[in-house]
Every structure is written in structure tokens, then in C-alpha cells.
A and B are shown apart, each in its own frame.
Chain A
Amino acid sequence: MEISERRVGDVCIVQIAGRLDSGTSDGLAQQLHQIVDGGTRRLVIDFERLDYVSSTGLRVLLVAAKRLKAVDGKMALSSLKPHILEVFEIAGFKSIFPIYGSTDQASQQLSA
């Protein structure tokens, strides 16, 4: 699991790569925690290089979303692979996260 982070204006873009499962989700949970605590209110998670997500990974994303929501922040996802999008659909997560085709698109929507 690789996690990288960059900023475009007030938007923080976090790219995650590899597998997001019970073995790797703790790392992501901590990083997202720090980002929100650091004052970030606009968060985009880039799924372009993510191959796998389990319910543990979903839980991390849900927790991050709840924390942002509590401080009036916004969160969006971009570039989900079809089988991951399917998991999001089954889990009912498509109604929680706005999902975009690219990070640029997601950033623009959050800044608007």
C-alpha cells in the first residue's frame, strides 16, 4: 500500500495504490486523521492506482468522511476501477461519496 499526498490550492489530493484491506487500512486511517486534524477541509482520494478494497478499507473512508462532515469539510473520490466501483455500489457508498472521473474534476467540484 502506497499513500501519497499533494495539494492544489486548498484541496488535498491523496493517492492510494495497491490493496486497501485489513492489513493496510490502519496506515491510511492514521494519515487521513492527520490531514483532517491539520485543517484540511477539501479532500480528494485518488483511486486510480488502487486494485482492491475490502470492507475494512471502506470503513476507513467512512470514518474520514464523518470527521470531515463534522467540521463542514467536503470529500470526493476519483478514478475508481469498475470492480471497485461495484463494491462501492453494493456497500451503498455511492450515495455518500461524490465520485468523479479525474482528480481535476473532483478538485473543481469541491472548490466550487
Chain B
Amino acid sequence: MIPNWRIGTKLLVLTLPLIAAATLLATWTLHTLNAERLHEKLKSRASSIAHQVMADRQYYGSVVVPRVTDLKGSLGADYRDVHGRFPLPATFVREVSEQMARKQNGYLTRLISPWPINKEQRPHDAFEMEAFASLAARPNEPFVRADTLEGRAVMRVLMADLASSASCVSCHNAHPQSPKHDFQLNDLMGGLEVIIPIDQYLAESRHDMAMALGGGLMLCFLVLGIVSIGTQWTVSRPLAHIGERMAQFMRQQPDEQASGQTPALPRGDEAAYLAQTFSKMAGVIRSQQTALQEANASLEQRVQERTAELRRTTAEKERIGSELRIASEIQKSILPRTFPPFPDRADFEIYATTIPALEMGGDFYDFFLIDDKRLGVVIADVSGKGVPAAIFMAVSRSLLKATALASVSPSACLEHVNRLLCPDNESAMFVTVFYGILHTETGELEFSNGGHNVPYVIGDDRLVPVGTPAGMALGVLDDVRYQTSRMTLNPGETLVLYTDGVTEAMDGQGRLFSTPRLEQTLRRLADQRPVHLLTQLVEDVQVFSSGAVQADDITLLALQYRQPALLEVALANRASELQRLASDLERFARNHRIPERDVHALSLALDEVITNTIAYGYDDQGAHEIRVRVTLANGRLSAEVEDDGRPFDPLTAPEPDLTSAVEDRPVGGLGIHLVRSLMERVDYRRESGKNHLIMSKRLSAAAQAETKAEHHGNL
């Protein structure tokens, strides 16, 4: 098993011996090279000393010795004791060497020879014997070697001493103490040995080596330390961290297999731990992936099943939706939707709208002329919503209208419809109804309320509820009695009917639009025409409830009672009266913004008719009254002339001659022709002994467009 060491530590243990060995090897190699170089240096030094000494001796032998001989002097080692004696060359060398040795500790220079004159100069040891053997063979190569002498390391060199001059040869051969007497010139006579102590240099060299070794090793340890710490930071710790995270991941797996495999403690180093954990994690991931793939496949199947199901449901829904849309269209088409519904009527204006909460609504409005002078208006709200409410609504609406048109009072109408609804009402539905009849000549409103929200009448200076909340909804009890009440609308005032979808419209916080807010809005819009009033009111409700789902149908009807645009003038049967009619008509036209072209046409037509009546209409000469009644309604200008002259239908007059030349052109007959040409419709009737001529024309195109723009301006 791998010891529980960190990677850094392992690295250290593995590399330390290698580095140490390398350091040692390097140091040793360096030292060896150094030692060799030192040897060479010392050898050359020893040799140069030897050469120096030999040069001195050469000089002494060749210069001094011959002069001594010439001067009859003698040579001998005992020159200090005998007068006229000079040192021998050997003595000279020896004594110079002795002085050198005294000055330089350990240095020794001496002459030796196998054939010495002085016995002390015999070869002393193995080195010298060996050196002479070498010199005998190669006299020109000094013999050099390191050696140990008297316990000290030394460098020894032995240089050949050849018989360089005749004096040397003769002297040695003649010397009594010389063991050899047959020397010849250039014979090997002996050698000069130079000994240099080198133990000091060696010690220095060893010291250097130790220092180098020590320094090298320290450097190694430093480097290793840095590497070890670096490894710890850059490799070990991140690895350990990854391992920890992986182990944590495994512990978090709900899978038994996974949590069971979580390694409790790291074994081996971080990498090994990581590898173990990773292989276990890979197993866990593999098994989870398999599980995931299986789940995915089953999910895919379920999605397909669900999609098919949805497709079926959607098709079904679409079918129902389209049927509902058609039904909704049918339902809407039941209610009168063309505005203005009675374009010829200037004495009232009506507008209504309904916005169902669902496709099918339970609310409805209705209006209808019972006769020329009575207009019926209905608003109703069926309990519930959707298709059942819509069906009940259709039935109620038909019954109400049919009954109302039979010209009964509002209360009688509600009672009758209630009796019809009750017996067959098995689903216990009911409908609240307000039914009113406006007498268009007087502004009187007759009404009866079957449990519906109390409507309002709004005018410049008032907002009044129409009646009190009384009466029961229709369809509940079959013998309920209803009451007819009355109030009068002033010209310009508007009756506003509404359903509770208006007051109970909710905003995002569940607050109701409420009755006070409705009243406030109605006061603000009191002077508006019905279409503008309702459009604005609906917009206010929608702004208020924006963000909330519309909970109930919103239905509104506004009926404005108007004084018709009317001019009534009574004229005497005098031509001068026409001027008065003309100025009255001009003022009327200005007030009602009637185009000049149209008022001119009407003015001229009236002129022609009345002029004709004044001139030819009366059998007597007495005073008569001619009544003129001009009205403007929905873009049509009408006039009725009533006189009590003799019966005369101007429409029977023949067409005049319009083409003959001036001399043949008949004078007269043009008046009636002008009337017929200027007016679009002219009708005559004789009634109660009076002539009634009714004529009308539409306002010209420009004025029509203006009126239309005004009408639709706020839609």
C-alpha cells in the first residue's frame, strides 16, 4: 500500500537522493580536475626551479671554474678552511639550495649522483633510484612525481646533470674521491632534485571542495523546499479540494448506491483519492443517466398521448366556440343596432349598447315606436349568464315587445309578460325589467319597474332617479301587480337606463364602480348627446375595471328628449308678410346652421306657394291666416303650409313651357315649377277644410358630411 504521504512529500523523497548523488558526483569531478591541475602546476613550478638552479650551476661551471683553474686556484668542498680554494659547482648548488630552503619553508634543492664525490650525495630512496633509471634512458625528460617525504606530501623532480664542459669531466675524473673516472662530455653525471611541499595546497583544495559540496547541497535543499511548497499550493490543495467536492456530491445523492460508496477518508495521495472518488462518481452518474433516459422515454410517450388528447379537446372547443360565436351574433342581431334608428325624428335621440361578459349575454335593451307620438324603451337583465340566460332573454324580449306594441300601459305590459313567463319557467329563471313610454310631444314618461336598477334622468341642472326601487322581477310569481308612474323630461334631458353590470364592474382590487361613481359620471356627461354619453361612460367603466375580468354584462340605453328644430309662423294673406317670413327663416337657418343654398331653396318655394295662395286662393277679400311650420330633423329640412283657401293641389298644375323663344314664351306657371324643382318631396292633402302642402329636402352634401362627422366624432 502506498504510504499516506502527500504528493509534495513523495516528490521530495524520490528526488532527494538523486540530487544529492548528482551534487556529490559534480563536486568530486570538480575536485579531481582541480587536483590534476594543481599537480601540473606544481610539477611545472618544481621544474622551473630545477631549471633555474641548473642554469646557475651551468653558469658557475662554465665561467667561474675555468677562471679558478687559470689562476692556479683549487676547488673543494672545504673552501672555507683552505686559502685559495673555491667551492665546487656541487657545493655552490648545495649551498644556494640550503639558503633557498631556509627562506622557503619545505623547499629543498639538492644534487645527487650515483657516483658522488661527496658520499652524502648518493641516491637516498626508491624515488631517486627510479628517477635515475628514467633519466639514464631519457636524459632530457625531468622525472617528476608526487611523493611522501618525512610524512609530508611533496612534489619531487629530478633533472639530469650532464657533463656540460671539459672541466667538469676532467675534474670528476681526476678527483681522488670520485668513484668513477671515465666520464666523458655530455655523460650523465648526476641530477638536481627539487622538492616542493604540496600538503598545504592539497588541504586548500580539499577545503574548497567541501565548501562547494556544502553550498551545492544547501542550494538543492532550498530548491526542493520551494518545489515542495509550490506543489502543495498549486497541485495538492486544488486536487484535495476537487476530491472533497466530489465526495460531497456523492454524499448528497439520494441514491443508496451512491451514498454507500462515498469514501470516508482520503487514502493514498490526493490524485489517488481523486481517481477513486471519480471512478465511483462515474458509476453513480452512469446509473443516474440510465434512469434519466428511461424517465425521458416514458415522458416522451406521455407528452405524445397528452398532445393527441389536447388536439381532440381543442377541436371540440373550437366547434363549441364557433357555435357560440354564431349564437352570439344571432343574439346581438335580435336587438336593434342601427343608429340613429329613426332618422326622421328630431324630437328625440336614442343610443344603446351592450357588452356581454360571456359570448352570450342575459342583458337586453329595446326601443320601438308604439305610434307617432309614443316611444317605448326597455332595459332588462336575466338572472344568470351564458346560453340559458340568452334563451330566456330572447323569449322575454319578444313577449315584452309584442305586448308593448298592443298599446297597453307599462304596468299592464309587465303584468301580462310576467303571467306568460311564470308557468313554463321550470328552471326558475327571472328577469328584471324597466319599461318606459316617452310621449314625444310633451316629454312625459310613463314607466313601470319590475325589480330593475332605478334609471336616471339627467339635465343641465338635475339628476333624478326615475321612480323608486319597487316591484318584483318577472318570472317569479304569476300574480304580481305592477305600478305605472309618471314624470316629465324637459327638452334636452336624457333618460339613462343601465344594468347592474355598470355599477358592479370591479377594478383590480375588487372595488365596485358603484352608484355614486355612476351618478358622478352622468352629471359630468349631462350635456352630451346619447351616443357620446354612452361611449364615454363605457370607456370610464372599462378604464376603471382594466386588469379585472368583466364579471357581468354591461348594458346601457340613453334617450334624449329634444325640442324639435321648429319654426312656426302665422301670416296674414298679404304680400308684405312674405318679408317677415323671409327674415324669420333666415334667423332659423342661422340658429340651426342650415346651408345658405338650402334655406334659399326653401325660402323661394314658400314664397311661391304663399304668393300663389294670396293671389288666387281666396274667393273673398277678407283676412285669412296662413300657418307655416318649418322643421329640421336628421339632415332634412321640411315645411308645412296650411291655409283655409279654396281647395288647390299645386301638384296638378301642368309643366310650363321652358324652351320656346322669348316672343312665344308664356308668362306665368313658373312658381309651382320652381317649388317642385327646388324641393325633393312635395305632398298635398286637404284636411278639415284646409290645404296642407308639405315639402322637404335633404340638407346639401357638405352639411350632411358635417352632421355625420359630429355624430360619429366620439365613437
A→B interface (CB under 8 Å): 19, 21-23, 52, 54-56, 58-59, 62-63, 65-66, 69-70, 83, 87, 90-92, 95-96
Contact = CB atoms under 8 A, between A and B. Distances in A.
Given A59-B670, A92-B658, A92-B659, 4 more contacts: A56-B611, A59-B668, A69-B663, A90-B677
B466 interface: no
A87 B674 contact: yes
Contacts of B674: 54-55, 87, 90-91
A62 B596 CA distance: 27
Most chain B CB inside 10 Å of its own CB: which residue of A19, A22, A56, A58: A22
Nearest to B669: A55
A58 B669 CA distance: 11
Nearest to B668: A59
B359 interface: no
Interface stretch (B11-19, B185-193, B571-579): B571-579
Contacts of B661: 96
Contacts of B659: 92, 95
A66 B576 CA distance: 28
A55 B667 contact: no
Interface stretch (B163-171, B322-330, B370-378, B600-608): B600-608
A22 B614 CA distance: 11
A16 B603 CA distance: 20
Nearest to A58: B670
Interface residues of B, number: 31
Given A54-B604, A92-B658, A21 B667 contact: no
29 contacts: A21-B578, A22-B578, A22-B611, A23-B575, A23-B579, A52-B600, A52-B603, A54-B608, A54-B671, A55-B608, A55-B611, A55-B674, A59-B668, A62-B662, A63-B667, A66-B665, A66-B667, A69-B662, A70-B663, A83-B597, A90-B674, A90-B677, A90-B678, A91-B658, A92-B656, A92-B658, A95-B659, A96-B661, A96-B665
B668 A23 contact: no
Contacts of A54: 604, 607-608, 611, 671, 674
Contacts of B607: 21-22, 54
Contacts of B579: 19, 23
Interface of B: 575-576, 578-579, 582, 596-597, 600, 603-604, 607-608, 611, 614-615, 656-659, 661-663, 665, 667-668, 670-671, 673-674, 677-678
A28 to B, nearest CB: 15
Contacts of A19: 579, 582
Contacts of B615: 22
A70 B661 CA distance: 13
Nearest to B605: A54
Contacts of B670: 55, 58-59, 91
A22 B575 contact: yes
Contacts of B614: 22
Nearest to B596: A83
Given A22-B575, A23-B576, A90-B674, A62 B667 contact: yes
Contacts of B582: 19, 52
B663 A66 contact: yes
Contact of B671 (A55, A62, A70, A95): A55
Contacts of B668: 59
Given A55-B670, A83-B596, A21 B662 contact: no
A65 B611 contact: no
A66 B608 contact: no
B600 A83 contact: yes
B611 A21 contact: yes
Contacts of A87: 604, 674
A96 B665 CA distance: 9
Nearest to B672: A55
B663 A62 contact: no
